[in-house]
């Protein structure tokens, strides 16, 4: 009986896929110019057709959702959602940090993710459909992230990519949890990666920790390094050069001062939440950083990030809106929430834009998504309406 009730609960929490049509006064596909009076036709969870109302015929009996503006489902490129809960109570819904060791790349986000966390339904009510989530910064290596759709079923059913990154933290964020100085941080990481290289060469890599490190040094997944200051960003780039792994910078309050180096190393940035508190290592963060990174030709995506205080999970739509108010063009902000983010996560073949054959992930709004007075009126994931109303 328990198994039956559990199955029924999963089914009831996730609406079944249905054939849908989305009609929008302005349709942003991220595959070209916005379409006026646009239509997206959805069948079996996939996009069957995209075009103008004159080009796409909606079959009789198809449910139609209308919006002033429709976009691809929004993507949060770095979060602790599902490991962090809505109440922010340690021992209750805070599973995003483990202080058991300084180097723990083997910890899998999927094993800690709670798909029934109330914060997930809150976040998707803002049009967010996909999240790269995992352990918070804080340990020298704190675990792995995974990319998940916000259906609210099970971690395995909702997973898009697992693992997606191994996490590392440089600077004050991990000082004291093992290494006590920056030199010790780099020394310990060198030992970790040299050991992984030797094990790979000798064919002696064994165990979960070794498996995780092999993924990085063989470039199967990147290392996601949280670093805020120019000093720590430079150290991260030094490690990348020494060991040849792929890397994405997370945080990057002073990323613009390292623009030439980031561009030369082909390292994109998962930018800190724009409304993060500007203190400590993040004292030089700026609302204008996304606009400046864009001008400098450095790829970036928006994140809800993590802070030790509250809120531990933010809403990336609001963070992007702040960037728009501070010099970033609307089109570039939307890219950092959709196709641009999907490309940096390696999931662009499935989501991030509205094209035939892709997953039917959409966000519907009653006005400009970056305008404070606008609301998300519906969120669709894999052709399922997971939110409808006004947020």
pLDDT digits (tens, 9 = 90+) for 103-116: 999 999 999 999 99
- Where does the pLDDT of residue 381 fall: very low under 50, low under 70, confident under 90, or very high at 90 and above? very high
Statement: residue 3 has pLDDT above 60 = no
Statement: residue 350 has pLDDT above 70 = yes
What does the pLDDT average to over 273-283? 92
Residue 5 has what pLDDT?
A: 37
Statement: residue 11 has pLDDT above 50 = no
Between CA 325 and CA 285 the distance in angstroms is: 16
Provide the mean pLDDT of the chain: 92
Contacts for 353-356: CB closer than 8 Å, 24+ residues apart: 353/29, 353/30, 353/31, 353/72, 354/27, 354/28, 354/29, 354/30, 354/31, 354/40, 354/47, 354/50, 354/72, 355/29, 355/31, 355/47, 355/50, 356/47, 356/48, 356/49, 356/50
pTM over 0.85: yes
What does the pLDDT average to over 292-305? 96
What kind of architecture, by CATH, is found in domain 2-72+353-388? Roll (2.30)
Please name the residue ranges forming H helices in the chain: 2-13, 109-112, 118-124, 155-158, 182-202, 208-217, 230-243, 259-265, 289-295, 316-324, 330-337, 339-345
Q: Report domain extents, the chain.
A: 2-72+353-388, 74-345
Residue 362 has what pLDDT?
A: 98
Statement: residue 4 has pLDDT above 60 = no
Q: Is the peptide bond before 32 cis (omega within 30 degrees of 0)?
A: no
Query: What is the token pair recorded at 308?
Result: 């030790």
Residue 100: CB atoms within 10 Å = 9
What does the pLDDT average to over 218-237? 97
Three-state DSSP state, 163: strand
Both ends of the chain: CA-CA distance in Å? 37
Of 13-27, 225-239, 349-363, the one with minimum mean pLDDT is 13-27
pLDDT in tens, 114-147: 999 999 999 999 999 999 999 998 899 999 999 9
Backbone angles phi, psi at 39, to 5 degrees: -135, 135
CATH class of 74-345: alpha beta
Pairing mode, strands 269-271 and 128-134: unpaired
Angle at 299 between CA 293 and CA 301, to 5 degrees: 95
Enter the DSSP assignment of 325: T
């Amino acid at each position: 009986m328990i198994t039956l009730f559990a199955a029924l609960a999963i089914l009831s929490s996730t609406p079944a896929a249905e054939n849908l049509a989305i009609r929008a006064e302005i349709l942003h596909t991220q595959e070209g110019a916005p379409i006026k009076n646009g239509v997206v036709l959805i069948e079996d969870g996939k996009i069957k057709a995209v075009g103008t109302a004159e080009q796409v015929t909606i079959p009789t009996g198809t449910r139609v959702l209308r919006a002033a503006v429709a976009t691809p489902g929004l993507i949060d490129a770095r979060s602790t959602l599902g490991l962090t809960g809505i109440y922010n109570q340690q021992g209750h819904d805070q599973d995003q940090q483990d202080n058991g060791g300084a180097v723990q790349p083997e910890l899998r986000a999927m094993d800690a993710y709670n798909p029934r966390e109330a914060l997930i339904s809150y976040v998707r009510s803002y049009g967010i459909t996909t999240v790269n989530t995992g352990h918070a910064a804080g340990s020298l290596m704190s675990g792995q992230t995974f990319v998940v759709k916000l259906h609210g079923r099970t971690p395995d059913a909702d997973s898009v990519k697992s693992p997606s990154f191994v996490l590392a933290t440089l600077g004050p964020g991990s000082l004291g949890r093992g290494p006590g100085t920056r030199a010790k941080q780099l020394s310990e990481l060198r030992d970790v990666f040299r050991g992984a290289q030797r094990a790979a060469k000798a064919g002696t890599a064994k165990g979960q920790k070794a498996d995780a490190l092999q993924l990085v040094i063989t470039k199967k997944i990147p290392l996601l390094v949280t670093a805020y200051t120019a000093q720590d960003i430079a150290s991260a780039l030094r490690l990348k050069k020494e060991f040849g792994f792929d890397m994405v910078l997370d945080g990057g309050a002073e990323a613009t001062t390292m623009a030439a180096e980031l561009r030369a190393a082909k390292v994109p940035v998962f930018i800190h939440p724009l409304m993060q508190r500007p203190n400590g290592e993040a004292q030089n963060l700026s609302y204008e950083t996304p606009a400046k990174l864009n001008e400098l030709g450095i790829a970036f995506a928006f994140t809800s990030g993590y802070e030790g205080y509250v809120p531990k999970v933010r809403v990336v739509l609001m963070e992007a809106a702040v960037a728009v108010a501070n010099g970033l063009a609307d089109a570039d902000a939307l890219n950092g929430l959709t196709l641009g983010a999907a490309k940096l996560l390696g999931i662009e073949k499935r989501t991030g834009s509205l094209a035939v054959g892709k997953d039917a992930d959409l966000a519907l709004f009653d006005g400009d998504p970056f305008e404070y007075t606008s609301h998300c009126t519906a969120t669709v994931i894999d052709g399922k309406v997971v939110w409808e109303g006004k947020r």
